[in-house]
Amino acid sequence: MKIVTVDEMRTLETRAAQEYGLTSQILMENAGRSAAEILVRYIAEKDNARPLDELAFLVLVGPGNNGGDGMVMARYLEQWGGHISAYHWKEQHLTVRGREIAAEDAAAALEEALHQCDYVLDALLGTGHSRPLPDSMRSLLGRVNQEREKRDTLRIAAVDLPTGLNPDTGEVDPGTIKADITITLACPKLGFFFFPGREYIGELYVGDIGLPAVLVQDIRTEMLTGELVRSILPGRPLNSNKGTFGKVMLFCGSPPYPGSAFLGGSAASRIGAGLVTLAVTEQMLAIYAGSFHESTFLLLPEESAGSFERANSILNHLEGYRALLTGPGLGQSPYIREVILELLESLRAMPDEKRPYLVIDADGLNNLSALESWWTLMPKDTVITPHPGEMGRSLRWRHRPPVAGAQQSSGVAGDTCAERRLHDYCRAGRLHAYQLAGQSRAGNGRHGRCAGGDDRRSDDAKGGSF
């Protein structure tokens, strides 16, 4: 499923009109009907299947196309039995069940309509507005919010997006109210996947406005859905063994941070690796041996043996391994940095067909961040999985919005960068966002998969897991 910015959505609509004759009126009609159909299904599935003729809807109508979408939506809901009141914010004009309310009575009638309605349809402003909300609009939305605090049965349905939410950045106006359901039109908007906007959209549905599929195929940002993941995952034949599914080696963990190897090793097993090997010192082996019942271990020399000996011990056992994870929980020190640099140099010298994929996370990146142009040291097809703090330190950011950060990350790293937030996103030819609210079983983060162009992929689990 494609994810768009404001400019991309505007371009899609322009091309639809110029190339296919889909005027704004046609798109608005399609949008309104689709939004109405989705809301009816939502009511049937999530609101006790209440009959429409028992429900009252208050539509807050803005001055632009979003207001037009809301009015078309209201027309269909009314045709199907719903009771509609519509308040036109700019004109301060109210109709209740088709009856126009006199101007002097509008304020009181609006209060009554708000008090009696079951659903408020927020169709005030859409993607074309990014300025602060007018005071009168904030006041109107504030009144809706007050009513919802009194009645937990009142539902807010946003048409395309909640009014005041920036569709590119996820920033919200102080007057923005949280929707229970957002029916976005054509494609989800990029700002839905960043905080604080993510907290304001509620359940997200996508309405079909009739855009030809060929128009959206070149959009380079996509939502990572279960269907897409299934298309990426390789098949697992019945006639197989652990050698069929590849081997993973992990060089991570230290006495202060033993959990990093637990998370990484467990995640590697869970994603289906045929064999997982932990490269650890004798001190760490005593910690891990009783907990990893399926993994094997590579015993590393102690620090006193020197960085070359430790790196060489790993390199000498990499034949046949498909992936190497390094960084999580290693700590930061000149010694660890030298070990990592030794690994990078030797991996760069390997032939492509023999080199395992390298994943660098956490302290692997923190140790490298002290070096200028550290990304030039990476072997081909390296995957880095920084959270924003690690990426900021690595690239000397002071302030960097998430999308711009991901763009810069891929620009300097060249390979796959999966920068981690609650929603994963990366810039490696294409961007994929993974919507997963809540916390993972691994602790305070979340599991995600971020896929890049040219079939490059990275698995990311907060806490340093591979």
CATH of the domain at 366: 3.40.1190.20
Do 203 and 271 fall into the same domain? no
CATH number of residue 72's parent domain: 3.40.50.10260
**Which residues have C-beta within 8 Å of that of residue 228, sequence separation ≥ 6?**
222, 432, 451
- 268 lies in some domain: yes
Calpha distance 456→52 (Å, rounded): 48
φ, ψ for residue 384, nearest 5 deg: -115, 145
Residue 96 identity:
V
Q: Is the pLDDT of residue 27 over 60?
A: yes
Do 297 and 169 fall into the same domain? no
In the numeric block, which tokens belong to residue 42?
């939502």
Calpha distance 357→247 (Å, rounded): 11
For 137-191, strand residue ranges (E) read: 155-159, 181-185
Last residue in a domain, options 176, 201, 219: 219
Do 238 and 371 fall into the same domain? yes
Do 280 and 194 fall into the same domain? no
Q: Is the pLDDT of residue 458 over 50?
A: no
| Number of domains forming the structure of the chain | 2
What secondary structure letter does DSSP report for 380?
A: T
Do 187 and 327 fall into the same domain? no
In the numeric block, which tokens belong to residue 18?
């110029």
Do 210 and 85 fall into the same domain? yes
Taking residues 44-56, what's their average pLDDT?
92
- 407 lies in some domain: yes
Q: Is the pLDDT of residue 448 over 60?
A: no
Do 267 and 188 fall into the same domain? no
Calpha distance 180→70 (Å, rounded): 16
- 466 lies in some domain: no
Nearest-CA neighbor of 200 among 182, 223, 222? 182
- The per-residue pLDDT for 424 is 43
pTM, 2 dp = 0.75
Do 215 and 339 fall into the same domain? no
* Domain, as residue range, for 367: 229-461
| Residues 31/39, Cβ–Cβ less than 8 Å | no
- The per-residue pLDDT for 78 is 98
The least confident of 98-112, 200-214, 219-233, 369-383 is: 219-233
- 1 lies in some domain: no
Do 182 and 235 fall into the same domain? no
CA distances from 237 to 74, 103, 227 (A): 52, 72, 20
Last residue in a domain, options 219, 251, 284: 219
What sign results for the dihedral spanned by CA atoms 209, 117, 45, 198?
positive
The least confident of 168-177, 213-222, 428-437 is: 428-437
Calpha distance 391→328 (Å, rounded): 15
**Which residues have C-beta within 8 Å of that of residue 464, sequence separation ≥ 6?**
252, 260, 263, 264, 327, 328, 329, 361, 362
Calpha distance 162→166 (Å, rounded): 9
Do 116 and 250 fall into the same domain? no
- 224 lies in some domain: no
- The per-residue pLDDT for 354 is 93
Q: Is the pLDDT of residue 404 over 70?
A: no
Last residue in a domain, options 195, 219, 243: 219
Do 161 and 12 fall into the same domain? yes
Do 362 and 271 fall into the same domain? yes
Q: How many CA atoms lie within 13 A of 341 on its CB side?
A: 15
Taking residues 415-429, what's their average pLDDT?
43
